[in-house]
Amino acid sequence: MAIEYTDNLPQFAYSAQQVQQYEGKAAELSGTNLSALMQRAGSAAFQFIENNHPKSSHILVVTGKGNNAGDGFIVAERCRQAGFMVVVLVLFAPENLTGDAQQAFSQYQGKLVRCLDDIDTEQFSVVVDAVFGTGFRGVLPEHVSRCFDTLNGLPLVRIALDVPSGVNATTGEVAASTLIATTTVTFIALKQGLLTGSAKRMVGELLLADLGVSEAFKTLVTATSSFLNHQTLMAARPQRAADSYKNQHGHVLLIGGNRGMAGAIRLAAEAALRSGAGLVSVATHPDNTVCVLQGRYELMVHGVSDGEALLPLLKKATVVVLGPGLGQDDWGQALFQRVINTDIPLVVDADGLNWLSRNPVKHANWVLTPHLGEAKRLLQHSDAAFNESNRFAMATEISHQYSAVVVLKGPGSLITDGVRTNINRSGSAAMASAGMGDVLSGIIGSFIAQGMEAFAATNLAVYIHGLAAQRAAHDGEKGMLATDLFEHIRGIVG
Binding site members for K(+): 68, 129, 165
Distance CA 276, CA 450 (A): 8
Binding site members for (6S)-NADPHX: 133-139, 162, 264, 325, 371, 438
- Look at the chain and count its residues: 494
Q: Give the closest residue to 188 by CA, choosing from 13, 52, 412, 414.
A: 13
Q: What is the pLDDT of residue 1?
A: 55
Binding site members: 68, 129, 133-139, 162, 165, 264, 325, 371, 409-413, 437-438
8 Å CB contact between 401 and 360: yes
User: Which domains are delineated in the chain?
Assistant: 5-226 (3.40.50.10260), 240-493 (3.40.1190.20)
Q: What is the pLDDT of residue 438?
A: 98
What pTM was computed for the model?
A: 0.96
Q: What is the pLDDT of residue 71?
A: 98
Q: What is the pLDDT of residue 387?
A: 78
Binding site members for AMP: 409-413, 437
Q: What is the pLDDT of residue 29?
A: 98
Strand order in the sheet with 183-187: 111-113, 85-90, 58-63, 126-130, 157-161, 183-187, 205-209
8 Å CB contact between 251 and 281: yes
Backbone angles phi, psi at 274, to 5 degrees: -65, -20
Can you point out the beta strands (E) in 188-242?
Answer: 205-209, 225-226
Q: What is the pLDDT of residue 16?
A: 97
* Parts of the chain with a pLDDT under 70: 1-3
Q: What is the pLDDT of residue 55?
A: 85
Q: What is the pLDDT of residue 75?
A: 98
**C-beta neighbour count of 142 within 10 angstroms:** 9
